Structure 1
Amino acid sequence: MTSPSPSRSRSPPPPPHPYEIRGFEIGGDSFDINIRVNSVRFDIPLSPDNFERSPKALALFKKIFSLVKSDDDGDPDVWAYAREVADHFLPEFQRLAPKKVHTGKLTLADLKASGYFECEYKVVKERPTITAVKPWGRQDDDDGPCADKEWDMRTYQSTFPLYSLEDVEIPYTDGESIHDIIPQRVFVNGKTCFYKSCYSPWDALEEVTKYCKLAQSGLSISDLRTSRLSGIVTYRDGLARGLLYDWIETKDPGTLTWAIEDDVPRSQKNKWALQIRDTVRKLHSLGVVWSDVKPDNELIDMDKNAVVIDLEGGTTRGWVDRELLGTIEGDQQGLKRLVDFILNDESPLRLRNRIGSDCEYDSEEEE
């Protein structure tokens, strides 16, 4: 057997980027690139003012901005542009956010941001330059991002216990990569819970209100098959940092999306459809709207029961129309499509899963 010629050999893959682009924030005619490097957060603001005598660079910025503004921030061109800009700050990232090895118990407090910096980026005569990297905003993550007392979980509700970041333990295996962990399976006082971060303290209010209604109903998990809130993780000022749920044991990957197979008995599919219908009916009787109806928000537990999860809100394209967000009508529309997904082997939404999970139906639109 002859060896492949050098011209046909494959180049090694490029090294991974030593930072994580967390997303984009839009304001007016500008947008910010949000970046995490280990425990440090960096923000790169971009606007037309960043470009001097650079028509080509300005035109590219406007193209990328239009994609981000139109919710096409998943476009490869957007991410390539963001990485190109961020790469100019690599020396500063390495200086200000060196990797550290963690030993011992790991908690949410160990994963909190240890610093915030704003990166000033300019393009002059088509040449990118770094003008400054300076501390930005608060440098202490012990308090919440604002002081709105209406969002204080200590006074907003009394149904669920509150926990600090130090109370939530996270299992890990690599002390060098703790900041790459997305905490989900955690331990609180020895109890296994599922953890979900809050994008903002305000975002937690509606969901906590729904789970308060569920808890006050007195219905058990066998009577009302939904996820159950176990506690709330807060900052020192009482604002929500994340939510803790009772752990639901499943087989991987656990959701209805992947549990549906052609060889699943018809009786089992009928059972799931009936359980979900019953759960949604009972939720509505309690004044609770599921909202984001889709098979990814149904877990199949070890006893093959369908359990509704994610009462946070929002809708997903293809399942609930955007204008029906947060309404009983939206739930009814999504439920009809979900039952068809379960019972109809030729359901368009079922066929979508067979060709991949990157089609338009997976594009989630949170309001």
Structure 2
Amino acid sequence: MIVAPRYEIEHHITGTREDDHNARFTVRRNGKAFYIKVSPSHFVNSPTMTDKYLSYLEVLRSGEEVLGDIYDTDVYEWVMAPFEPLFAELAPSPSSHPKDIRISLQDHLFPDFFVFDLDIVDEKLCPRRVATDRSPHRPSFVRFDDELLDDLETWTTFYDPAGITLSFKNPEDALFMPPKKVLIDNRKAECFFKPCNSGTQIKQELKAYKMILAAGLDSQLHLCHLYGVVMDDSNFILGLLLTYIDDGDRPLSTRIHPDDPNDPPPAIRERWIGQLDATFAELHKAGIVWGDVKAENVLIDRDNNAWITDFGGGCTEGWIDKEIAGTVQGDWVGMAKLRKFTPPTKRNTNLKLL
């Protein structure tokens, strides 16, 4: 039995125009990146496979796990199957013992890479390597002007990604998975790495963290502390280093059982709401607006504390209307919905009277 090599599909991109039928995939294996483009313009004498691809493309565009009788996993397996021998050949397993693997954030964000097109000729899928010295992906295109950089230097720290180490329970996962926990300061401090996806968003977030630090709220409440800003040698902003919340990959949105009012029990629910109320009050007293209030942005740690995260602005449909987004009023509207989302268990009113 042939075992497929391990690899991870980091993400895929499809065109938004109706006449754009291209798809792009980013795959990670053993610390190397594979960038794969699929385009019907590279299909020759292959009507059956073209029809299959176009039906698969609709699944990718939908963002659903299944559309009709096609699962997204069917699509991934179909695209990746002809590349699996190349994954094994071009990204072999490291010779070192898995426990000795050390991958820096620099290694992860700027990996060795391979670029491929997927041609289909006479109904056969044919990977074709594209020769290039330039990666089709950059982790960030955001730079700050000198004035903002000078201000940042007065209250936070700049970090080189080469000095930051990825941290996983299984060290081998660093060769395949995007990082959440990283180690800084000679691997002595744990942080959460938040990538920079928007210049506007990261400026808004930095402004909020500066105010949180000035008010001392990050030491008083369950609010993340900003350890620093990660920059590359071309002064592109790669992301933020924030407090690592243990078990923080379980947001409030996943912690409330929809059909069991005692999961979690009422005391825990009331504790979360009390912590959120107290944090809201102190943030507003300091002139800080949370903004994107929603259950996904409340993280619950292993000690059942509720942390408010994501000060990048914006709003999410169903939580706050755009007209009041980014205001104190919007925050309290969102907080009212968080209370409804986290109702305490109803007290038993059928007690016997003595």
**Is the structural similarity TM-score above 0.5?**
yes
Deviations 1:6-45 (A, max 9, x none): xxxxxx9x84552211111233412212211222222222
Determine if the alignment matches structure 1 residue 43 to structure 2 residue 11.
Answer: no
Which residue pairs with 1:132 in the alignment? 129
Distance 1:322 1:98 in 2: 50
Distance 2:147 2:30 in 1: 29
Change (3 A) 1:294 1:111: same
Distance 2:198 2:211 in 1: 19
Count of residues in Structure 1 that have an aligned counterpart in Structure 2: 329
Distance 1:296 1:204 in 2: 16
Distance 2:81 2:133 in 1: 20
Deviations 1:96-133 (A, max 9, x none): 22221453755323434432322121223322223334
C-alpha deviation, 1:194, in angstroms: 2.5
Deviations 1:320-361 (A, max 9, x none): 268579544654443222112322448xxxxxxxxxxxxxxx
Which residue pairs with 2:119 in the alignment? 122
Distance 2:81 2:197 in 1: 28
TM-score (norm 2): 0.75
Secondary structure of the residue aligned to 1:178 is: helix
Given that residues 116 and 137 in structure 1 are in contact (C-alpha distance below 8 angstroms), is that contact kept between their aligned partners in structure 2?
Answer: no
Given that residues 44 and 120 in structure 2 are in contact (C-alpha distance below 8 angstroms), is that contact kept between their aligned partners in structure 1?
Answer: yes
Which residue pairs with 1:206 in the alignment? 204
Question: Which piece of structure 1 moves more, 130-139 or 335-344?
Answer: 130-139
Given that residues 283 and 290 in structure 1 are in contact (C-alpha distance below 8 angstroms), is that contact kept between their aligned partners in structure 2?
Answer: no
Give the aligned residue type for 2:118: Y
Question: Which piece of structure 1 moves more, 150-159 or 285-294?
Answer: 150-159
Which residue pairs with 2:64 in the alignment? 72
Distance 1:151 1:31 in 2: 38
Given that residues 169 and 187 in structure 1 are in contact (C-alpha distance below 8 angstroms), is that contact kept between their aligned partners in structure 2?
Answer: yes
Determine if the alignment matches structure 1 residue 280 to structure 2 residue 275.
Answer: no
Change (3 A) 1:199 1:81: farther
Given that residues 297 and 310 in structure 2 are in contact (C-alpha distance below 8 angstroms), is that contact kept between their aligned partners in structure 1?
Answer: no
Equivalent of 1:183 in 166, 176, 179: 179
Which structure 2 segments of 5+ residues have no match? Answer: 347-354
Secondary structure of the residue aligned to 2:126 is: strand
Give the aligned residue type for 1:84: W
Secondary structure of the residue aligned to 1:238 is: coil
Change (3 A) 1:281 1:68: farther
Give the aligned residue type for 1:154: L
Q: Which has the higher contact order (CA 8 A, sep 6+)?
A: 2
Distance 1:175 1:271 in 2: 35
C-alpha deviation, 1:182, in angstroms: 4.2
Distance 1:199 1:161 in 2: 16
Give the aligned residue type for 1:289: W
Change (3 A) 1:339 1:176: closer
Which residue pairs with 2:342 in the alignment? 342
Secondary structure of the residue aligned to 1:114 is: coil
Which residue pairs with 1:59 in the alignment? 51
Give the aligned residue type for 1:98: P
Which residue pairs with 1:361 in the alignment? none
Which residue pairs with 1:306 in the alignment? 306
Give the aligned residue type for 1:276: L
Give the aligned residue type for 1:46: V
